Structure 1
Amino acid sequence: MSRILITGATGLVGGHLIRLLNDDPRVTQIVAPTRRPLPPMRKVTNPRDPQLTDVLTQLSEPIDIVFCCLGTTRREAGSKEAFILADYTLVVDTALAGLRLGAKHMLVVSAVGASKRSPFFYNRVKGEMEASLIAQQWPRLTIARPSLLLGKREKRRPGESLFAPLFRLLPAKWRSVQASDVARALLNEAFSPAREEVTILNSGQLHEKATQTPLI
């Protein structure tokens, strides 16, 4: 039976994932720190603070698995500094909290094209985040690199609506993927037998893993 830490539970992927975790018999407890409140769920403890790092440093109960679904865009964040806080600093802080609490498996949502050598700011920050997590030497680290995420957001992203039809026609690695499929894939991967220390899943692999029958 597993105790879970999840950040980003108010987001598109995280919202699907926390509901799956709450319904999963293998999960006994879910700690979901957020900036704004979550709907009440039976297994979920929801500490809230605008400064998410402050909550993470105060957690003390043991954790088995960590999920991080934090992510935004530079436009939504409002500045480069705010984007780095959301997509790098808070992700790394989540991982450090998980390690401190004894977790053995970290699963994180990154993005297709992530590379610390990328000339594109968004992809470079994602790549630097991945490199920082790898450097932490997790016993097991799963990095999801979805392409365009599909699903109902609280705030529409006009560019995503415009390019969604095109992304459905691309090769599997670059093809758009439903946020609900990413959530199911992460859940299945969390409880699957370990194959290697670092696993990277692209959009096609996430869609495939989402359709697999979960091991319970």
Structure 2
Amino acid sequence: IRTEQARLDAAEATIALKKEEIERLAAAKRSQYEGLAGDVSALKARAEKLGREADTLRDLLAALESAAPAAPGMKPKQRPQLAALKPAPKSSAPGSKAAPIKSSSKPLGKAALGGLLQPVAGDVLNRFGDKLSGGSTAEWVSFETRAEAQVIAPIGGTVEYARPFRSYGSMLILRTSDGYHVILTGMSRIYVSEGQSVTAGEPVGLMPDRTDPPPELTLELRLGDRVLNPAEWLARGG
């Protein structure tokens, strides 16, 4: 028993050191970006204003879309054209039927070649289309995670929003080069800031330090006002 406890203690210590290193590197990258990009405060003020004025996520995304500025100190990039990409086979939960959500079948473009990465280690809690308490329908995929789990960017993109929003709590919105919005909610900390570019698999946040109830991360995918099922684009084995 003592040997097993010593092994667990050593593993926990290793995890803690890795988490500290990840946070240090993320803070260094953020500081470097803010030092080179110029007037980052304008992007932060804009995000804060839009978040304060928007009543819903749809409103916030529309405001971000219509008022999207180029990152400070950088030239705007030309968007590539959308490429054909077949979604992965749908996995249906036994005994459950997807509700009729207005969902776009238009595939992710070049930005998603290779698929979305699962943003956190954990089991699927809610699937897209699941009926929720109160009669609403899930427009996302959610994952139940361990305490203080690391969250990664499921795809490369530009950070458009990285702060609390309404009842969602901390929200991270990434915009891909093809104009898709990837939304993550449920984190206790976000490592990145508005205007910053991230790569797929890069640590972007941390889940809450609690076990009861376990932390829950939600992943949403949208193109304009159209809602897409993220599970169709998650990389196999992700």
Greater fraction of residues in strand:
2
TM range (shorter): under 0.3
TM-score normalised per structure 2: 0.24
Higher relative contact order (CA 8 A, sep 6+): 2
Give TM-score, length-normalised by structure 1: 0.25
Structure (1 or 2) with the larger CA radius of gyration: 2
